[in-house]
Structure 1
Amino acid sequence: MMKMERAGPMGDMASPLKHFTNAKKKINNIFSDIASYIEEFGEFIDDVGNSDENLIIDEELEDEILAALNQVGGIKDMISRNHMKVVFFGRTSNGKSSVINAMLWDKILPSGIGHTTNCFLSVAGSDEENPGSEQADDGAYLLCGQSNERRSIKSVSQLGHALSQESLSYDSLIQVFWPKKKCALLKDEVVLLDSPGIDVSNDLDQWIDNYCLDADVFILVANAESTLMLAEKNFFHKVNEKLSKPNIFILNNRWDASASEPETMEEVRQQHLERGIAFLADELKVVSKQQAKDRVFFVSAKETLQSRINKLQGKADSTSNMADGYKARLMEFAHFEREFEECISRSATRTKFEYHAQRASKIIDTLYSRAEWLHNRATDLLKDCVERQMFLQQRVEYIDKQLSIITADAKQNITLLSNEAERQVRTAMTDEIRRLPLLVDEFQRPFHPNPMVLRVYKAELYHHVEDGLGRNLSARCSAALQRQIDRNRGDMIDVVKPLLVLPETNDDDGSSSVDNDMLQPDPSRFRSLVRSASQLPSFDISYDIDCASLCADFQEDIEFKFSLGFNQLMARFIGPRDARRVRLGGLTPDPAVAAASSTKPATVYHPGLPVDHVGLHGNVQPYPAEDLLYSLASGYMKFTNSHSAMFVAGLGMVPYLFWRTIGWRAVAFAAASYGTLYAYERLTWTSRAKERALKRQFVEHASDKLNLVISFTSTNCSHQVQQELSGTLAQLCTDVDEVRLDIQNECENLIAQHKHLVKAQTRSKTLRNKAGWLASELDTFTKSYLVTAPAYNGNGAT
């Protein structure tokens, strides 16, 4: 407990304002720690927010941190000054400066009738004992504006007086430093601020912003000869809007004028009291009505100042200069000072710091809950991250295993389908070769034995046969093969689809699961499969039958040959003309055939000849002489095994029998018949007959050549089917590889995310614990300085 002795301005007193000084120091330290904590929190938010793994920070939290930092910074600026500030406001000539002078026990500030104070004047305590050039003023001096040049205390009358030639603007500030040893009120660094009349300028908002936002107590000095005016009320309404429940005292100055009208003094006093209470309690709502009664006083600053100056000079109060009842007014002023000091010692600390402490407590509670949420969120995400990594690893293993099985099955199915395609094409082509005479008969073009026309005719015939074979093979094989290919492709897509999914494992409630039911399909992957299955053009098998190349060595024989001619009979006996030449000693092929073979070599075997006697370019090689006997023997065997041989033998005996039995007439008749048959055949050997002979020869030749390429064509079609399905399988494997690559990339991201979450978990835990410590510090401050406040009795003792 503290002892306080009110012995005048020179007396030493144990000021109750020490409580405020200690509280200010403590809460300043706390807010410095809070500001550092919020900055650390903000750095954590920036580190997490600027990282690639921005998983737990949202814009709302960032805004909260920024707002908290701004709030704490503003509060810290408000409470970081070294003085408690008391501001005096009122209309012009209400006696604001006189009240301050009375409280300081000396006439320091300019005062008088009319508009006296022309700018803001602050009075603070000075500790200097040897002020140098200002020693004559006993340590008192002043600073003007932003200048650090010290001036004599006497110049305050010239600078701050409205009638002075050196007067400053209304919003200027003169700082007056008065020795603390002359005024006990200033020992605890209380600052008293005098102001111009609030009715001399319209810049009230600027005044409030510049001088009132950090004020602890406001003293409204009113003129007891009138009443509270609208200008005074409006000003304090503005103050109340910008500050949280300011401490306001109302001094009805010049109450000595009521002595001239004693009959209405109490009624006027009650009227002023009621209006003052209504203004503080009902309009401003800064205190209750009961508390407002102790905030309204009726004084005479002029009388109080004069009485105190007389007391300092050892003089008695002159009753001739005092109005009736001045002692009561002196006691009222002393009572005001007691209440003023008791208010500071009892509630100024709470008024100044309690709201700030509450705001700081709310900020700390919010940050604690946020830090707790971040820690829990980081813990949950870390758990999900580990589970996700395990799940993705299992998913990759599953994809690899399934892809291996699917690939093996698909390759087996492709092989089976390729073999089936080869079988179908081989069967269809064999059937089409049998139907080749019908296809050739369908060819109708102008025919003429002229070599030029014949060359064009054969080219068109080749093209017709080639198109017909391709069309017929496509009609018989392509549709069926296409259906089988589509079915096989669809089967491959169906088995690959489960592998083309997004491995999502987070449930709606934030829990984690690795069930396969949580695997979500990837629409982009499935669209790719749809394009592969339906939007790609249908597979068109190319049979690649180049009839012109196959039949390049075809040489038609459309010259007239009598059926009973020697050559024809010999051909029936020993075989075709080319073979006959070879077997009878003509060891080189037909010159026409040789010429054709040399101009356009063919890559096919010559029909009817052994492989050893076919050249690299398809030319028939001459038989060696020792093979002649073999050829004759084989020809004879063919003759004896054929019906034509018997017919020829019988025909050779006819002339002899006719000659022996019938005579020359029969021979002549036979000769005539022979000649008639020759003439008939020669006359019927027309272009149409030649065309039929050419088509017949071409059918025989083309059938032999096409039989040679059946295997090649069917194998080629099989390869086409295999390549088509293999391409589809490769595309599906590529899609699966992309999914697998995405999963691997996510695994790599999860590794970095894991490190990030571990760091976030640790830092959030530290921030949470530090927020708890700051909350404990605020609670201790509240219990020490805000809950228990010192009380003082009327004599100033605790």
Structure 2
Amino acid sequence: MSGGMIRQFSETADASQGSRKLGNGRQSPTSPLKLFGQAKKKINDIFVEINGYVDESNGFLGGLDDKDDIISKDQKDKTQSYADKVKGIREILNRDRMKVAFFGRTSNGKSTVINAMLKSKILPSGIGHTTNCFVQVEGTDNQEGYIMQGDNQESVHSVKQLAHALCDAKLDVDTLIRVCWPKEKCSLLRDDVVLVDSPGIDVSADIDTWIDKFCLDADVFVLVANAESTLMVTEKSFFHRVSSRLSKPNIFILNNRWDASASEPEMMEEVRQQHMTRTVEFLVDELKVNKPAEAEDRVFFVSAREALISRSNEAAAATPNSHFLDGYQGRLFEFCSFERKFEECISQSAVQTKFAQHADNGKSITAELRQVMAEVCDSASDKRTNTQQLLEETRDRLDFVDKQLSLMETEIKDKIVTMAEDVEYKVSSALMDEIRRLALVVDEFDRPFSADPLFLGLYKRELHEHIEKMLGQNLQNKCSSALRTAVEGCEQEMTERLTSLLPEEGKQQVANLLPAHDFEVAYRLDCRNLCADFHEDIEFKFSLGITALMNRFLGPRGTKSVLLGYSDRIPRPMPSTPQTPSNESIVSSNQDNEVMLALLSTFTSLYSRTTVGALALTGLLAKAAGWRVIAVTGAVYGMVYVYERLMWTTKARERAFKRQYVDYASSKLKLIVDLTSANCSYQVQQELSSTLARLGRQVDISKDELKSEVDKLRTAVSKLDDVNTQAKILKNKAGYLDTEINSFMLQYLNPSSKI
């Protein structure tokens, strides 16, 4: 048959498979292998979003303060671990490819089958070219092919060079050689398919190691059997071990070299049925990996050599080989059917095996993060409610303290003013009482008295101190106790009222702020400076002396006017009286009398203070009254003078001094009664105001703390609102990602969506 006929068979097979529909009304792609690429791209995109979501969630949760008690440290650590988990999944997804492993006995044509599927002779095959290690063929974006053994890379340009490289290398059976072939040269490699060629399963007994090392991640196993013989025990034993390690592996059985049946066409169908029966029984009854109908679709009779030659000629546009045996068209069609079934199976299997677990992990991660965000949202909401309630309570407390403080301060200040006025009145009254009994206080001063000026100065200083001390003591006895009681009572009332506005810890501090000493009013009389201008007059003065008598009758001012010859009064003009003949004589008489009085006054003023004046006055009196009367009167007068002179002792001087001092000090003390009482009132007012200020300062500190607490709580409420909003956004985003994963699973993993 010509090359065109071969292409027609291939196109017919492709068309018959390409028109099939997938679940949910999806049209199958041109090649079933495209399904894997689509699923891989879809789940990669999903995990890119999950990765961003996990990073965003970790950033959000990492920003939460542990003190807020919104999320536990264990939950934070758990969500942090998701970042590495998602990163690992993304790395695996980027490496994930569809993997098919070819097994069979030596020289059954495994390498030839791989070359035929790749439509190019890539692996060395044929007589003398037996694969002696594991060879993995995978695609590369490079323009030239190369082989990798571990980290060693070696370029290859042809099959001969590759065969030479594989033959020269001294390799163990379980060694893996990676053949990286340009994707542009082979369509199968462009669809992320990796084909693993193995050495014959009859060359080594260490099959378990092969399975564990190279087969656990395979999506499809292809057993290349020799159609000229039946399934061998070695082949069956190998797949029994594979089945024991993998749950229902996907197995295709290729009865290769079926072109040998052309030599006996009459026996071909019988032999085919015989092989089919045995292989189906092996898959269904022994391995239990397929149902009978499914098993028949996994068994094919092909000639890999014919398929490779045909496809090589087609690629090279060469003349097809005319030495193919009869029936090769059917064998080529069978090989195409195998490829289509293989592509369908591996794409679905790879999607299931590669992506199902990742999708489940993605759902688990998003579900757990969604649960975490829901818990954060609930916790933040509850905490926000509690914080808002505490904020309202604190704000109400602040308003209450502010209003009560203002009200209390007004009331207490009014009370302080009233108390200060009461103190001023009491001190003023007490001081006036003490001034009235100042003579008694002075009489209590018992110190030796002397008229000597030096001694008298010391006497006056001690008397000043005595008066100041006794007056202070008397005032304290009369006022201090009552004042102290009143002040302490007022302070106690202030303390009780203002401390009621403080928190418990603030109440403990108030005791340290109040003064520990008892309040005492200081009565600053300062008698020494007050009576500094006092000048005593303790010289002897005869009580019947002219000056004394004039002082007694005329007073000090009149005496001074007479003796000194002037008056401190402003003279008044005499009223003018009209002269009439009837009163001229009266006027004349009055004028004579006034002249005589003026002369007498002048005489007295000029001579009364001298002996001459006294003698002259005596002479005038003697002439008027007689000498006898004058003598008797003078004797009595002299005796009185002598008596008074003899009685003018130190005690008399002391009494005169004290009497003068009492008069002087009383007048001075009366001048400072208002000042002293006002000073005491000021002391009380200062004491109470100072206590009020200290207590008010504590209340102000408490207010500042409440204001600070209000600001903190307001900030906390705002922060919790932000946390709640962000948690809801992330929670909804988790729901969106879960929807995306569900859509992926429904589209690619749900059984109803299978081809």
Structure 1 length as normaliser, TM-score? 0.58
What are the equivalent positions in structure 2 for 1:220-369 lying under 5 Å apart? 225-227=204-206, 308-309=304-305, 312=308, 344-369=346-371
Q: Specify the alignment match of 2:569 in structure 1.
A: 624
What are the equivalent positions in structure 2 for 1:325-724 lying under 5 Å apart? 344-373=346-375, 398-399=400-401, 401-437=403-439, 439-441=441-443, 443=445, 448-500=450-502, 521=503, 523-524=505-506, 526-527=507-508, 529-532=510-513, 534-535=514-515, 538-561=518-541, 566=545, 570=549, 573-574=552-553, 581-582=559-560, 584-586=562-564, 623-624=568-569, 677=643, 680-681=646-647, 685-686=649-650, 690-691=653-654, 693-724=656-687
Whether the 8 Å contact between 1:85 and 1:193 is mirrored in structure 2 is: no
Listed one character per residue, the Cα deviations across residues 290-309 of structure 1 (whole Å, up to 9, x for unaligned) are 998869xxxxxxxx9x9844
**Which residue type is aligned with residue 84 of structure 1?**
R
Shift of 1:115: 12
Q: Specify the alignment match of 1:33 in structure 2.
A: 49
For 1:429 and 1:551, the matched residues in 2 are separated by 17
Q: Which of 188, 191, 208 in structure 2 is aligned with 1:188?
A: 191
For 1:291 and 1:700, the matched residues in 2 are separated by 144
Give yes or no for the alignment of 1:74 onto 2:88.
yes
Give yes or no for the alignment of 1:84 onto 2:88.
no
Shift of 1:476: 3.5
For 2:484 and 2:199, the matched residues in 1 are separated by 102
Q: Secondary structure at the match of 1:124?
A: strand
Instruction: Tell me whether 307-316 or 777-786 shows the greater mean CA deviation.
Output: 307-316
Q: Specify the alignment match of 1:152 in structure 2.
A: 157
Whether the 8 Å contact between 2:97 and 2:193 is mirrored in structure 1 is: yes
Shift of 1:789: 6.8
Whether the 8 Å contact between 1:582 and 1:623 is mirrored in structure 2 is: no
Instruction: Tell me whether 709-718 or 394-403 shows the greater mean CA deviation.
Output: 394-403
Instruction: Tell me whether 760-769 or 68-77 shows the greater mean CA deviation.
Output: 760-769
Which structure has greater helix proportion? 2
For 1:714 and 1:459, the matched residues in 2 are separated by 25
Instruction: Give the structure, 1 or 2, with the largest relative contact order (CA under 8 Å, sep 6 or more).
Output: 2
Instruction: Tell me whether 435-444 or 387-396 shows the greater mean CA deviation.
Output: 387-396
What are the equivalent positions in structure 2 for 1:53-202 lying under 5 Å apart? 66-80=80-94, 84=97, 86=99, 103-105=114-116, 108=122, 122-124=137-139, 141-142=145-146, 152-154=157-159, 157=162, 161=166, 163=168, 175-177=180-182, 186=189, 188-192=191-195
Listed one character per residue, the Cα deviations across residues 284-325 of structure 1 (whole Å, up to 9, x for unaligned) are xxxxxx998869xxxxxxxx9x984477458999xxxxxxxx
Closer, same or farther: CA 427–87 of 1 in aligned 2, 3 Å: farther
Whether the 8 Å contact between 1:425 and 1:714 is mirrored in structure 2 is: yes
For 1:413 and 1:159, the matched residues in 2 are separated by 116
Q: Secondary structure at the match of 1:468?
A: helix
Instruction: Tell me whether 355-364 or 108-117 shows the greater mean CA deviation.
Output: 108-117
Closer, same or farther: CA 274–425 of 1 in aligned 2, 3 Å: same
For 1:422 and 1:159, the matched residues in 2 are separated by 126
Whether the 8 Å contact between 1:222 and 1:251 is mirrored in structure 2 is: no
Q: Secondary structure at the match of 1:226?
A: coil
For 1:471 and 1:292, the matched residues in 2 are separated by 123
For 2:69 and 2:133, the matched residues in 1 are separated by 62
Closer, same or farther: CA 467–87 of 1 in aligned 2, 3 Å: farther
Shift of 1:80: 3.8
Listed one character per residue, the Cα deviations across residues 68-104 of structure 1 (whole Å, up to 9, x for unaligned) are 44433432333245x61549899xxx99999667544
Closer, same or farther: CA 110–691 of 1 in aligned 2, 3 Å: farther
Q: Specify the alignment match of 1:770 in structure 2.
A: 733
Closer, same or farther: CA 490–547 of 1 in aligned 2, 3 Å: same
CA radius of gyration, larger in: 2
Q: Which runs of 5+ in 2 are unaligned?
A: 1-6, 19-30, 248-284, 291-299, 310-320, 326-335, 573-624
Whether the 8 Å contact between 1:141 and 1:176 is mirrored in structure 2 is: yes
Whether the 8 Å contact between 1:141 and 1:178 is mirrored in structure 2 is: no
Shift of 1:733: 4.4
Whether the 8 Å contact between 1:354 and 1:786 is mirrored in structure 2 is: yes
Shift of 1:559: 3.0
Shift of 1:788: 0.9
**Which residue type is aligned with residue 40 of structure 2?**
K
Whether the 8 Å contact between 1:153 and 1:176 is mirrored in structure 2 is: no
Listed one character per residue, the Cα deviations across residues 257-285 of structure 1 (whole Å, up to 9, x for unaligned) are xx9xx9xx95x88987777676669xxxx
Whether the 8 Å contact between 1:345 and 1:790 is mirrored in structure 2 is: no
Q: In angstroms, what is the RMSD of aligned CA positions?
A: 6.1
Whether the 8 Å contact between 1:21 and 1:188 is mirrored in structure 2 is: yes
Closer, same or farther: CA 545–78 of 1 in aligned 2, 3 Å: same
**Percent identity of equivalent pairs:** 30
Closer, same or farther: CA 98–624 of 1 in aligned 2, 3 Å: farther
**Which residue type is aligned with residue 177 of structure 1?**
P
Q: Which runs of 5+ in 1 are unaligned?
A: 132-139, 195-218, 240-244, 282-289, 296-303, 318-333, 501-520, 589-621, 628-655, 792-797
Whether the 8 Å contact between 2:133 and 2:176 is mirrored in structure 1 is: no
For 1:455 and 1:87, the matched residues in 2 are separated by 133
Shift of 1:776: 1.9
Closer, same or farther: CA 346–421 of 1 in aligned 2, 3 Å: same
Listed one character per residue, the Cα deviations across residues 158-181 of structure 1 (whole Å, up to 9, x for unaligned) are 99659469xxxx999763336765
For 2:130 and 2:662, the matched residues in 1 are separated by 140
Listed one character per residue, the Cα deviations across residues 85-144 of structure 1 (whole Å, up to 9, x for unaligned) are 549899xxx9999966754458745899999779x9652278x9xx7xxxxxxxx73377
Shift of 1:557: 2.4
For 1:689 and 1:97, the matched residues in 2 are separated by 161
Closer, same or farther: CA 231–488 of 1 in aligned 2, 3 Å: farther
Whether the 8 Å contact between 1:418 and 1:722 is mirrored in structure 2 is: yes
Shift of 1:712: 2.0
Shift of 1:360: 1.6
Closer, same or farther: CA 352–468 of 1 in aligned 2, 3 Å: farther
For 1:770 and 1:62, the matched residues in 2 are separated by 19
* Number of residue-to-residue matches in the alignment: 603
For 2:180 and 2:108, the matched residues in 1 are separated by 14
Closer, same or farther: CA 271–783 of 1 in aligned 2, 3 Å: closer
Whether the 8 Å contact between 2:201 and 2:238 is mirrored in structure 1 is: no
Shift of 1:626: 5.7
Shift of 1:421: 1.3
For 2:409 and 2:137, the matched residues in 1 are separated by 93
Shift of 1:407: 3.2
Q: Specify the alignment match of 1:327 in structure 2.
A: none
**Which residue type is aligned with residue 146 of structure 2?**
L
